[in-house]
């Protein structure tokens, strides 16, 4: 499993209706994308739920690297780059994935928490704690799924959770979900990834 996200931080007075219309127009195009577990089309609006920015920040879980590469190099990502400029694309190696009791429900909100992996710690312990946190989040009321992944270039953990309601029990950046494409949900490996 691989996690991926890019963020388009937009001007403070940007009409987020443009992003909503874009997702309404093209969001379905990944509903059957080979190799994609989930794509969550996420936004944050300045002044809403404590967000300091207007932002479009889709988050992906890939069950196959080929699917991710086809998305990035096969033309789909080029359209976004043409319209907004090419964003930096963050990638993390999967640590764990768990489905919650609300799996199959449409996602309404998502939470992303990034945290550094401190120097001098036992890596196994930190990764096991991340796996346990995935299970805890997935066990909360309204959780659709939870995942954890690590970027070993930056030594950063990311915890991501999708929720069927607007009051998630998770800490981090809160996003509104505009659409979810989940063609490969059943192929995402459950539990610890090593």
Query: What percentage of the chain has pLDDT greater than the value 70?
Result: 100
Question: Does the structure show a pLDDT above 90 at 118?
Answer: yes
How does pLDDT run across 27-74, given as a tens digit for each residue? 999 999 999 999 999 999 999 998 999 999 999 999 999 999 999 999
85/83 Cα distance (integer angstroms): 6
Q: How far apart are CA 29 and CA 146, in angstroms?
A: 24
Distances in Å between the Cα of 187 and the Cα atoms of 1, 34, 36, 86, 94 are 10, 11, 9, 30, 14
Query: What is the residue-averaged pLDDT of the chain?
Result: 96
- Dist CA 110 CA 137 (whole Å): 12
Name the β-bridge partners of 78.
Answer: none
CA 108, 12, 15, 22 torsion-angle sign = negative
pLDDT of residue 167: 86
Instruction: Express each pLDDT in 127-161 by its tens digit.
Output: 999 999 999 999 999 999 999 999 999 999 999 99
């Amino acid at each position: 499993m691989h996690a991926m996200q890019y963020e388009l931080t937009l001007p403070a007075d940007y009409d987020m209706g443009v992003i909503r219309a874009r997702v309404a127009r093209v969001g379905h195009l990944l509903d059957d994308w080979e190799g994609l577990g989930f794509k969550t089309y996420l936004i944050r609006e300045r002044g809403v739920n404590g967000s300091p920015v207007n932002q479009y920040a889709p988050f992906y879980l890939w069950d196959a690297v080929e699917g991710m590469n086809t998305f990035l190099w096969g033309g789909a990502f080029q359209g976004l780059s043409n319209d907004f400029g090419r964003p930096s694309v963050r990638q993390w190696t999967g640590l764990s994935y768990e489905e919650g009791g609300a799996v199959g429900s449409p996602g309404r909100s998502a939470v992303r928490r990034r945290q550094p992996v401190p120097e001098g710690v036992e890596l196994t312990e930190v990764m096991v704690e991340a796996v346990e946190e995935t299970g805890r989040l997935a066990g909360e009321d309204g959780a659709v799924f939870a995942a954890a992944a690590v970027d070993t270039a930056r030594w950063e953990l990311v915890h991501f959770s999708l929720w069927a309601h607007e009051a998630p029990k998770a800490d981090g950046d809160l996003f509104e979900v505009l659409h979810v494409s989940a063609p490969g949900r059943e192929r995402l490996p459950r539990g610890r990834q090593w």
